Structure 1
Amino acid sequence: MHTPVVARHVTARWLAGRNMSPEQRGDVVLMVSELVTNAVRHGRSRCTLTLTDLGGDLDIAVADRSEGLPEVQPGHGGDAPAGRGLVLVQRLGSPLVVVPGLGDKTVHAVVHLNGPAQVPRASDIVRPSSAARR
């Protein structure tokens, strides 16, 4: 499963030109890694990573070809072998927004670059081009 590794490298390169602290870049790369890992593991197919600068917010969107909705399992301890990825993303300050589709779904995590994350509006994350991919 080399997809998360590729996603981390692509994200790090994309973030290199952005005005962010090294800590914030590291957090975003970790969030991407967790979201892509979940998509590959549970979606059992290819996934699509989209990073969008929303003018002060960063939308991390990972789409996969599974209709199964992710479950946040906050009861997992630090020594559990799996199940901590979405909890980690939320602890890094990002609300999760899941946009289900017919035969797929997209999980969004939004990072507010100048403070706490903001929950995105549907108009920010539902784009006409996403329907064209189907």
Structure 2
Amino acid sequence: MVPDVTLPCFTGGEKVALRSVRGPAVINLWASWCGPCRQELPVMQQLADKAAGKVAVVGVDTGDGREAGASFAAAKGVTFPTLFDPDKKLLNAVSKINLPVTIFVDAAGTAYVNILPLDAAKLTDMVREHAGVAVAL
């Protein structure tokens, strides 16, 4: 199950309870200062583009400054919904210390936490295995 953490939208507005995110979904925790995130984030955007309507993709800018996160996301062409977690609440809730972290949620709400950076092939495999959706990246 996804941790019971509520975070604000990156651009302001309403807060989002992560438990309310219905699967199949992919929740990706990233930061502008994270080297592996720099390679992984464009792959997450690819997933968001190709899986629209089949898999929800949500980003969580983690332990970052808002300006740095916004600049990084813009440079990477990120358009999927992103939450802001400067205090690392979600990262701590899944008992992890390093980024990137990706949480896969299937239609039944079962969550699987991945702690290694993902390339297109690995992300494709994990979305099929842990979210129950076939997407070609």
TM-score, with length taken from structure 1: 0.31
**TM-score scaled by length of structure 2:** 0.31
Tell me which structure has the larger Cα radius of gyration: 1
